Chain A
Amino acid sequence: MVPGLVYFLVFHYGAFVANAVAFKEYVPFDGLWASPWVGTENFSRMFGDPDFWHATWNTLFIAVLQLVFFFPAPLALALLLHSLTSDLLRRFTQSVIYLPHFLSWVVVVALFQQVLSDTGLLNTFLSDSGLHTVDIIGNPDAYKPLVVIEVIWKDAGWGTIIFLAALMQVDEQLYEASAIDGAGPWRRFWHVTLPSIRPIVILLLIMRLGDILSVGFEQMLLQRQSVGPEVGEVLDTFVFWQGIVGGDTGYAAAAGLFKGVVGAALVFTANRIAHRLGEQGVYK
């Protein structure tokens, strides 16, 4: 127990304390504690920084795209899998669609680049067939849909696990009873399947909301350079670029702290709303 506890105290709570650097002007030579306090100067600078607002806007935009397109994807897949009558086919499909989850973002991004870049699979195919080529990787307009498609490819399959388990627990008798009452497949889906998995959908939605400002740090960092910061910068990469590459440590920590506080506030709010609606939420 002790090593584990020490880990949490040092690397989580220690880091928590080190957030103090957000209120300092960090001087590497002096270290964290000797650097001078500057109050909220880092924050006021941040709110006046157009790059920060670009990053925030991009983050929110991608987050909304993810919520609309990525969030329902595992649910749809799970419903499809659940409705398959062949056990073998279902198991095989499951094994296949879990797989991309275990690849690193480096591999996934490399894969997408091999397929979609101007010399990649798709464009080679298009030009060979005498058609127009499309620039997807370097195109700023395509960037946001692209990153969402990547997330779907990587994790939609993995996300089905939890929904499949929820679907498995739906009482068969409910289906039979409603079928006897004359409900067709669609009505059964609407009145039995969906209500049964509602709690789990809401739980996942809340967790997603709390995490909404984290739209995939590694993924974004790997691809930011192909479209430039104007389009590709999100809050996490902003923190990285300012603080670790640029050495503007206090400033970047302020942006990181801002993100953490907003994220936590979102969890609290979402959870409270869930309670209002009579759902269990993440915690009591």
Chain B
Amino acid sequence: MEKPRAATKVAKGVAVAVVLALVLVPFLVIVSTSLASNREVVENGGWVLWPSDPTLRAYRTILNGGIVTKALGVSVGLTVIGTLFSLACTTFLAYALARPGVFGGKPVLLLILFTFLFPPGMIPAFLLVKGMGMMDTYAALIAPVLINVFNLIVLRGFFQGIPEELYEAARLDGAGDWQILWRIVLPLSKAALAVVSLFYAVSYWNAWFHASIYMESGHWPLSQVLRTYVIGGSQIADTGLSEAGMVSAPQTTQMAVLVIATVPILLVYPFLQKYFTKGVLTGAIKS
């Protein structure tokens, strides 16, 4: 093929630069502002692109045992436990659906895919949770979203891609279903499992809506706290943080909460990113 023309090259370069800047600059501003001193933020009119005198004050303030600290604990616990439960249940179900000849495999699969077309409405789901007596329990934040159909299909697709000979060989060696799953299927499916766990972890970490309707405010995860105090505009100072030394420039504190809510995702992301395309596509294409 011929070489692309110089003008095309420049246009592409500019386009890529603009796209990158649109994503990265907001992140930079948030982190910088959260690290800036109150004085600098006020002088700058609410935001800082690059702090001249970085300080961790805002973080120390909100992590000093107030509402944010508590919410952080709830979010971490919820994410860890929720992800484990979801991952286990999704894996078992996906394995059962991936093996030929499992009793009721096909109808069960249809039954599940059907829920994709007819998602349960918000009100019935709410009544159900209420009717089961799960209000203000952490189970209400996990049980209704235990299995994600998309993740299930991704895993099932992956399990089906494992050569049949491996299953047969294991069976000849006298392995049962549990042993096959544990010793052969899971070790071979690390990429898919990694992606699916990330998806679950992210959704548990980011979830706020269920918390807002099912939970008392003392049991809120971080996202819901963020919603109330950063988007809703309520002052964190009103809720017991004032003693911890909240003064002017709420922007620093707000940005610091934003950073805390985002950092865990930024931390796991690079490790799992290489699996995305592979993991997502096996599922997407097979379904």
Chain A residues packing against B (C-beta within 8 Å)? 1, 3-5, 7-8, 10-19, 21-22, 26, 31-32, 77, 80, 83-85, 89, 93, 95-100, 102-107, 109-111, 113-115, 119-121, 124, 128, 153, 157, 161-162, 164-165, 175-176, 179, 185, 210, 217-218, 221-222, 236, 239-240, 243-244, 249, 252-253, 256-257, 259-260, 264, 267
Contact = CB atoms under 8 A, between A and B. Distances in A.
Contacts of B20: 93, 96-97
B47 A4 contact: no
A96 B19 CA distance: 9
In the A-B complex, the 7 residue pairs with the closest CB atoms: A15-B120, A104-B206, A4-B93, A18-B124, A256-B121, A1-B96, A124-B45
Interface stretch (B51-59, B62-70, B239-247, B276-284): B276-284
Contacts of A111: 26, 30, 258
A14 to B, nearest CB: 6
A261 to B, nearest CB: 9
Nearest to B127: A18
Interface string B230-251: 1100000000000000000001
Nearest to A1: B96
Contacts of B90: 4
B258 A264 contact: no
B26 A115 contact: yes
Given A249-B123, A256-B121, 13 more contacts: A8-B111, A11-B128, A21-B124, A77-B19, A96-B24, A107-B223, A107-B262, A114-B254, A121-B46, A121-B47, A185-B4, A221-B209, A222-B227
Contacts of A84: 12, 16
B146 A256 contact: no
B115 A12 contact: yes
Contacts of B172: none
B118 A260 contact: yes
Contacts of A185: 4, 8
B226 interface: yes
Contacts, number: 214
B112 interface: yes
Interface of B: 1-2, 4, 8, 12, 15-16, 19-20, 22-24, 26, 29-30, 44-47, 89-90, 92-93, 95-97, 102, 108, 111-112, 115, 117-128, 131, 143-144, 146-147, 152, 202, 205-209, 213, 223-224, 226-227, 230-231, 251, 254-255, 258, 261-262, 265-266, 269-270, 273, 276-277, 280-281, 284-285
A161 B143 contact: no
A239 B123 contact: yes
Given A31-B131, A109-B231, A249-B127, A121 B209 contact: no
Given A119-B46, A244-B213, A104 B261 contact: yes
B115 A243 contact: no
A111 B24 CA distance: 12
A244 B127 contact: no
A32 to B, nearest CB: 6
Interface of B is mostly: helix
A59 B265 CA distance: 31
Nearest to B88: A3
B197 to A, nearest CB: 13
B269 A99 contact: yes
Contact of B122 (A11, A26, A179, A243): A243
Contact of B231 (A5, A113, A121): A113
Contacts of A1: 92-93, 95-97, 102
B223 A11 contact: no
Nearest to A76: B15
B108 A253 contact: no
B125 A15 contact: yes
Contacts of A260: 118-119, 121
**Most central of B47, B120, B269 by chain A CB within 10 Å:** B120
A59 B186 CA distance: 43
B31 to A, nearest CB: 12
A1 B284 CA distance: 22
B34 to A, nearest CB: 11
Contacts of B205: 104
